[in-house]
Amino acid sequence: MKRALLLLAIALLAGCGGRKSHRPEPPAAQRPTQTGNTPQYAPDLPETRLSQAERYRQAQDDGPREAVDVSRIEEPEPRNEPPSRYGNRTPYSVLGRSYEVLPTARGYVERGISSWYGNKFHGYMTSSFEPYDMYKFTAAHKSLPLPSWARVTNLENGKSVVVRINDRGPFHDNRLIDLSYAAAVKIGVWPKGTGLVEVRALMPGEAEPEQRTATIAKTPPRPQPKTTPVSPRATAPATAVADANATAQPRIYLQIGAFGEQANADRAAQRVAAARLGDVRVVEASVNGRSVRRVRLGPLRDVDEADRLTQALRRLGLGEARVAID
């Protein structure tokens, strides 16, 4: 009798040890397609303990094979949530660079280049330790608190979407925000890959400003700042005014620096001009009542040119340029 009970206990333990736990699959309406025999939702693995090269099933990112009707996806509504226990440590370092997390999202508005992420990361943990779902309107940002909400507007077509920011990134030169696949489709960043956007933080319980940049592509030509073109051989740049007939379409520049003194701005501009990378100019602006002179390279043709010139400036020891969109 004792021997029979012992054998029964061993059998039960073996059954429990052989049972494999797994996280539930997404609902059928949101379940991504498969590539061959590889499921496109993540396994229940401690992926945050693995290197980037080992963490994901896919080497390259992509979207689902079948088109998704993003008009049926509900935009998130900003609401009061406690700060995430994960992803809000400040400062933090990624790939040798240090980043600061803002104490609040209030008043945050910035323009830059958006990218997107999809199938490769679907189901894996975000920086806030929430599973990433490419079929929701979410985003990754380097400095906004987790979670935060923002309206992201494509400056090239006026389309916008509200996203919940629950992840960190993108850690790529010249990228401001990484949109989920669904959000990228919603505003036309996918399948192009990148887009010129404005990110405007939204606060729970507060109405959005009446005038949004969603109409940016339809606005009349805007007043142009005073600019000073720079020639590689010029000793004292002459003042010039940008073309008054410029359209309201967004233009992309690389900003090498901002200076309070004209002489310092001129010296920086001459160094960049001597490299013959493109048109360089000093743009006068007022920031919080203080006059500054921004040294800018451009306007540039596209994001690819901005990426190429950013690397060229770094190799020449001309500093870390940042994207500016007007």
Q: Under a CB-based contact definition with an 8 Å cutoff, are residues 189 and 195 in contact?
A: yes
Q: What is the pLDDT of residue 59?
A: 62
DSSP code of residue 125:
B
From the number of C-beta atoms within 10 Å of its C-beta (0-12, 13-18, 19+), residue 84 rates as middle
d(CA 107, CA 226) in angstroms, rounded, equals 27
**What is the enclosing helix (H) or strand (E) of 313?**
helix 303-315
Cα gap 1→37, rounded to integer Å: 47
Distance, C-alpha 48 to centroid of its chain: 21
E strand map for 104-263: 109-117, 138-141, 148-154, 160-167, 175-180, 195-202, 226-230, 240-241, 252-259
| CATH architecture of the region 47-215 | Beta Barrel (2.40)
CB neighbours (10 Å) of residue 287? 9
The chain-wide mean pLDDT, for the chain, equals 79
Name the pLDDT band for 244 (thresholds 50, 70, 90): very low
- State the span(s) of the chain assigned CATH 3.30.70.1070: 220-325
Q: Which of 19, 187, 45 is nearest to 123 (CA)?
A: 45
Choice between 260 and 18, residue whose per-residue pLDDT is larger: 260
- Predicted local distance difference test score (pLDDT) of residue 20: 26
The better pLDDT of the pair 221, 201 is held by 201
Say whether 203 sits in a helix, a strand or coil.
coil
The pLDDT of residue 29: 33
Find out whether 98 and 35 touch, Cβ atoms under 8 Å: no
Statement: residue 119 has pLDDT above 70: yes
Whether residue 144 has pLDDT greater than 50: yes
Alpha-carbon distance of 68 to 308, in angstroms, equals 33
Average the pLDDT over each of 6-20, 69-83, 153-167, 299-313 and give the range with the smallest value. 6-20
Q: How far apart are the C-alpha atoms of 79 and 90, rounded to whole Å?
A: 23
pLDDT exceeds cutoff 90 at 57: no
- Helix, coil or strand: residue 270: helix
Provide mean pLDDT across the span 73-96.
96
Distance CA 253, CA 295 (A): 10
- So what's the architecture of 220-325 in CATH? 2-Layer Sandwich (3.30)
Domain with CATH 2.40.40.10 in the chain: 47-215
pTM of the model as a whole: 0.75
Work out the percent of the chain whose per-residue pLDDT is above 70: 69
pLDDT of residue 68: 86
Q: At residue 239, does pLDDT exceed 60?
A: no
The yes-or-no verdict on residue 297 having pLDDT over 50 is: yes
